[in-house]
Amino acid sequence: MLVDVRTQVKMLVQQAVEAYLNNELHMNKDSPIAILLGYQSLNPSIVLEAVTPLLDTYDVTLLLTKEWLPLQEPWNGVPFVLIEETAQQELGALLEKSSVLVVPQASYSLLSKLSLTIDDEDPVWIALQFQLLGKPIVMANNDVEPNVYQQIHAPHSVQERLQSYIRQIQTDQVKWVPLNKLVKAVGEQYAAYREKQSLILAKHVERAFQDGLKEIEVPAKCRITPAAKDLARDLKIQIKQIDSSKGGTL
């Protein structure tokens, strides 16, 4: 009888866990994220394996360079965009609809240029646009973080320069994680973005007026100061609150 009770409890717990996971999957499947595959990898199969669970959980748009195009064939049905053949205006529209940018394959070029705000490469430009929109970036550090042998042999000046770039992008709220923690980090950053509260000030309304805007789109949970509301009314600018968990502009 005791064994039967234990078996029943185990089954109930398993059913509860499966129900929770199915519910999370259903909730997130309509959540738009972008995955940037803009740099070559020595082990592309490992990168693709780490990314695959995200395709089953989120509404994913792949941003690819031509080198990655043959490798994404098993992902039939997943929307993709060739970065080199897409105008920045079109890329910008796609980025506004995505809540999180995932970079499973980084490079020293991306690391240094992103930390210094140099956007002379399309992948860096994409990452900077996400930052300017106040949206989270999750970046895998596997091919960039110095390994133990590099830490032993590389000149201290080189290691310190790399670490300074890493510290800078982390300060700029880029989540810097190992590839095997990618899925968890994306979930955490998406949840944090969904709960994010921006503050709308009078100076933001004034800038919108200077730019000739008649409407400002802001997250539904943002806070709007009384001065901003008054100025928006005086300048006839509508402050439109939208659901930031479905993408959208901050």
Q: Could you read off the pLDDT of 195-214 as tens digits, one per residue?
A: 877 788 899 999 999 999 99
Same domain, 168 and 237: no
**CATH no. for residue 175?**
3.40.50.1950
Same domain, 146 and 123: yes
- The per-residue pLDDT for 20 is 46
Same domain, 212 and 167: no
Beta strands, E only, 65-189: 80-82, 100-103, 137-140, 174-177
Same domain, 40 and 131: yes
β pairing state of 32-37 and 137-140: unpaired
Average pLDDT across the chain, whole number: 86
Spatial CB neighbours of 190, under 8 Å, sequence gap ≥ 6: 28, 31, 33, 58, 99, 100, 136
Same domain, 1 and 72: no
Rounded to whole angstroms, the Cα distance separating 8 from 87 reads 58
Report the C-alpha dihedral over residues 52, 53, 59, 65, rounded to 10 degrees: -20
**pTM for the full predicted model:** 0.78
H-helix or E-strand spanning residue 21? helix 2-28
Same domain, 2 and 90: no
SS3 80: strand
Domain containing 15 equals 1-30
Domain count, the chain: 3
- The per-residue pLDDT for 13 is 56
Task: Identify whether the C-beta of residue 25 lies closer than 8 Å to the C-beta of residue 55.
Answer: no
Same domain, 136 and 78: yes
- The per-residue pLDDT for 26 is 46
Same domain, 21 and 60: no
Average pLDDT over residues 144-163: 94
Same domain, 125 and 237: no
| pLDDT of 248 strictly over 80 | no
What would the pLDDT profile of 18-70 be if each residue is shown by its tens digit? Answer: 554 455 444 456 789 999 999 999 899 999 999 999 998 999 999 999 999 88
Choose the most confident range, by mean pLDDT, from 25-39, 65-79, 97-111.
97-111
Same domain, 124 and 87: yes
